Amino acid sequence: MTIRPLTKNGRAGYVLDVGTVAGKRRMIFFRTKRAAETRMGELERDRKAVGEDWADLPPRERLEVVRVLSEMRAVGVSLAGVWQAYQTGQAGKAVVSKSLDDVIKELLAAKRQANRRENYLANLQLHLEDFAKGREGAAVASVGLGEVEAYLAKAKSAGSRQTRLNRLSTLLSFAVRRGYMASNPCTSVERVNVELPPPKILTVPQCRALLDATRASDAKLLPYIALCLFAGVRPAEAARLKWADVDIAAGLLTIDAEDSKTRQRRVVELPNVCVEWLKLGGELPASSVRYRLAAVAQAAGLTPWGRDCLRHSAASYWHAMKGEVVTARNLGHSEAMLHKHYRALVTPAQAKAFMELVP
């Protein structure tokens, strides 16, 4: 094994060349040399332990191990998969050997073929590669409850733990359906309760400050702000909208199925205050939204910035002004969800002042 400097995707670090494992060259990237050296020490200790165990086996048993493994490899069956099948009472079912890395790639290809959103695929890939880091060549059938719980223990919050569990279960359920492992150990993990705080919304004066700051420092971002704040459009949906989707004269916004989170076409009634801000013009679709929004929020004195606070504000004020049925139809939410999260957050008087925030 050797360690050498390497720049990967523009990031400087070090690569640990483990050598050939299961017929594939295995190389592990680390940000620091110390991390690479620590991992190399662990692998060397593992190899030494394996060597001692191997030396303790009688020659006849060594020969049998080599022969059986060779035969299993020839038909694509993993040793870990066979053992897991035995433990779960499915000894009659051979499990085809597939590495974690191969199954992750296969899953992502299948999800992309099923027309999943790219941002979901990117998040899924990020979590799964984090789980597989350092053992990409290991058989997916070798993943047990211990590995799953160790990975979940690294989560910094209940929400993060739930996300990790969901993403990992997606992979292992896929592996079970494809016959690469006998069962999904995630089903044995106790689910956590995630306590969600009330949605953070902007007050009427804060909305005015944000609109004025945007108009003064980045007026081209106004259409994006107006559609999120007054029409409750989701950030990802708003980022894909074009001026052709907006009918200012009729006061309507059409979100096509391909742009909608729910994959269903939605027609949103634009309140007059939103129409008045849209009349000022600007950029649709907006580019570099995250950085520009952070800049205008800071200029308006609205830091820290609450996640999705524009949509949450719209939902709250709309709910107080027009009730659950109209709000649910425009925002693409269920009435039960609106009742649960947005009821009584603002008063009708505050909602009226919100709807009068014209330029």
Q: Which of 48-57, 67-76, 90-99, 122-131 has the lowest mean pLDDT?
A: 90-99
pLDDT, residue 83, reads: 66
Where is pLDDT greater, at 144 or 226? 226
Percent of the chain with pLDDT over 90: 30
| Predicted confidence (pLDDT) per residue in 3-28, tens digit | 888 887 777 888 888 776 555 677 78
pLDDT, residue 223, reads: 94
Secondary structure of residue 200 in the 3-state scheme? coil
141 band by pLDDT with thresholds 50, 70 and 90: confident
Query: Could you tell me if 237 and 259 are in contact, meaning their C-beta atoms sit under 8 angstroms apart?
Result: yes
Sign of CA dihedral 231, 233, 239, 240: negative
Q: What is the 3-state secondary structure (H, E, C) of 45-89?
A: HHHHHHHHHHHHCCHHHHHHHHHHHHHHHHCCECHHHHHHHHHCC
The pTM is what?
0.57
214 band by pLDDT with thresholds 50, 70 and 90: very high
Distance (Å, whole) CA 94 – CA 74: 13
| Predicted confidence (pLDDT) per residue in 307-339, tens digit | 788 988 888 888 777 766 666 666 665 545 554
pLDDT, residue 107, reads: 94
- Expressed in angstroms, the distance from the first to the final Cα of the chain is 66
pLDDT, residue 339, reads: 46
- The yes-or-no verdict on residue 341 having pLDDT over 60 is no
pLDDT, residue 239, reads: 85
User: Domains of the chain by range and CATH?
Assistant: 1-56 (no CATH), 67-194 (1.10.150.130), 204-354 (1.10.443.10)
Q: Average pLDDT of the chain?
A: 81
